[in-house]
Chains A and B, each alone.
Chain A
Amino acid sequence: MRIPYYPGCTLYTKAKPLNTSMHACFSAIGVELAELPHWYCCGTTFTLARDNRMSLIAPLRILAKAQQENGKVLVPCSICYNTLKRANYMLNEDTETLDIINEHLEESYDGNEIVLHPLEFLRENEELIKSKVKKNLKDLKVGCYYGCLLLRPQQEIQFDDAESPTIFENFVSLIGATPIDFPLKVECCGSYLVVTSPDAAIEASYKLLRNAQGNGVDAVVTSCPLCFYNLDALQEKMKKAHPGFKQIPIFYFSQILAIALGVEEKNLGLEQNKVSPYEILKEYDLL
């Protein structure tokens, strides 16, 4: 099987582990990720101003490019996923805007591309994944952190229930680990406020990690490179603000999937995690 793949800017730089582990996982389950040729930035955050059509151009051009390859495109970064999916929804709702943008571009797009997150792909191919799992993660207690962009707005994203989602937990169970529920799994980590108001991001991320720890997790798993940064890299600053805070390892979902699939350690990208994941993995005999 071959599926078009849109990595987005961060998977080539600060979120390389997400990219390498994605490729390793999908190759282990026999799916080739075919990167879109000459892709560019999705524009990151989806504009909320109704009178701003400019910011729909980048997503539309990516969707048009993807459509030339296939009817579906796989997008692992939560921000890219959200932006492409919202733009797609909007262009379908507002055909006047779709026509106006199409008129100004070389490409043309009809609004029919399907934007797929790897967790959705895994949900659709449960038996295939199950048959490829080589390592049992059963004692590892994982907190599934959804964040905002995979879930909201629910009507447009249709990924899962926006308030009590389960797709991530089902994925974690599928590869044999133990999902641990925690109430703040759908709450914001502070997102890009880390750039302009770092304290707000540090506090928000601290609050949700404490909530996960209070429910007994060994590690937190996420899909968004920005959430990953806030939850992982900001832990030093959380410790300064809250001296009693005990650090906790963060993983990309594709990293724990790769471990379960028996992918070589060098393709996991664990050395880029700021909070060391090695102790917990050794404790559970997973490395």
Chain B
Amino acid sequence: MSKLLIDKDFKRRIEEISDQKLSDCYQCGRCTAGCPFANFMDAPPNQVIRFMQLGLKDDVLDSQGPWFCAACLVCQTRCPRGVDIPRLMEAVRVIHLRAKEGLIDVSEIDKELLLDAPPLALMSAFSKYTY
């Protein structure tokens, strides 16, 4: 078995941006159980948090989970430890976005949707997927 590469700076960065303490999570899995989009995620919320706790930078950053988080806050409401999980997911997204990765590309949005969707759908997506 190979040794895990623990990146402590990365852990600190996640905690700073999100203002959450990763050690508060005891992995009960309630966030994932209630997440409406967990079945779209390669790594569901509790697994992304486990990667964070272990300082596994690459696993966190490669995970698609945070991109399916709609910030609906069901997990935040139900977490028995008071962890604001959507803030952790946002931290992953902003680390990517500030490095100019994962930015929304208007030319890739469905044309019919662009004309049809309410402005707040587009504005929300633009504000979530830019920096």
Which of chain B's residues have a CB closer than 8 A to the CB of A192?
70, 121, 124-125, 128
- Number of A residues whose C-beta is below 8 Å from B? 46
Interface string of B85-96 (1 = CB under 8 A from A): 011011100100
* B91–A194 touching, CB < 8 Å: no
Asked if A2 is at the interface of the complex by the 8 Å CB criterion, the answer is no
Within B76-131, the residues touching A (CB, 8 Å) are 76-77, 84, 86-87, 89-91, 94, 104, 109-110, 113, 116-125, 127-129
- B68 → chain A, closest Cβ, in Å? 6
Which of chain A's residues have a CB closer than 8 A to the CB of B74?
148, 152, 186-188
For the complex, what is the distance from the CA of A77 to the CA of B76, rounded to whole Å? 22
Whether A196 contacts B90 in the complex (CB less than 8 A), given A10-B119, A204-B37, comes out as: no
For the complex, what is the distance from the CA of A198 to the CA of B129, rounded to whole Å? 15
Choose, from A42-50, A130-138, A243-251, the stretch at the interface.
Answer: A42-50
For the complex, what is the distance from the CA of A153 to the CA of B109, rounded to whole Å? 30
Which of chain B's residues have a CB closer than 8 A to the CB of A8?
120
Q: Which residue of A lies closest to B102 (CB)?
A: A196
Interface string of A19-61 (1 = CB under 8 A from B): 0000000000000000000000101110111111001000000
- B21 → chain A, closest Cβ, in Å? 13
For the complex, what is the distance from the CA of A187 to the CA of B78, rounded to whole Å? 13
Within A173-231, the residues touching B (CB, 8 Å) are 186-188, 190-200, 204, 207, 225-226, 228-229
Interface centre among A43, A188, A192, A204 (most CB of B within 10 A): A192
For the complex, what is the distance from the CA of A229 to the CA of B119, rounded to whole Å? 11
* A41–B77 touching, CB < 8 Å: no
Which of chain A's residues have a CB closer than 8 A to the CB of B118?
10, 13-15, 225-226, 228-229
- A86 → chain B, closest Cβ, in Å? 10
* A50–B73 touching, CB < 8 Å: no
Main secondary structure of the interface of B (DSSP, over half): helix
Kindly state the interface size class of chain B when it binds its partner: 35 or more
Choose, from B1-9, B11-19, B48-56, the stretch at the interface.
Answer: B11-19
Asked if A275 is at the interface of the complex by the 8 Å CB criterion, the answer is no
Interface string of A144-164 (1 = CB under 8 A from B): 000010001110000000110
Which of chain B's residues have a CB closer than 8 A to the CB of A162?
77
Main secondary structure of the interface of A (DSSP, over half): loop
Asked if B36 is at the interface of the complex by the 8 Å CB criterion, the answer is yes
Whether A196 contacts B18 in the complex (CB less than 8 A), given A188-B72, A191-B72, comes out as: no
Interface centre among A8, A196, A199, A229 (most CB of B within 10 A): A196
Asked if A62 is at the interface of the complex by the 8 Å CB criterion, the answer is no
Leading 5 A-B pairs by shortest Cβ distance: A188-B72, A48-B90, A192-B124, A14-B118, A195-B125
Known: A50-B19, A188-B37. 14 other contacts (CB 8 A): A13-B118, A44-B127, A45-B127, A48-B18, A49-B90, A50-B87, A51-B17, A148-B73, A153-B77, A187-B74, A193-B70, A195-B125, A197-B68, A229-B121
Interface residues of B (CB under 8 A from A): 16-19, 36-37, 40, 67-68, 70-74, 76-77, 84, 86-87, 89-91, 94, 104, 109-110, 113, 116-125, 127-129
Interface residues of A (CB under 8 A from B): 8-10, 13-15, 41, 43-45, 47-52, 55, 77, 79, 148, 152-154, 162-163, 186-188, 190-200, 204, 207, 225-226, 228-229, 233
- Sample (23) of A-B pairs whose CB atoms are under 8 Å apart: A9-B119, A9-B123, A41-B123, A44-B124, A45-B127, A49-B94, A50-B16, A152-B76, A153-B77, A162-B77, A187-B36, A188-B37, A191-B70, A192-B70, A194-B117, A195-B109, A195-B113, A198-B110, A200-B37, A200-B40, A207-B36, A226-B118, A233-B117
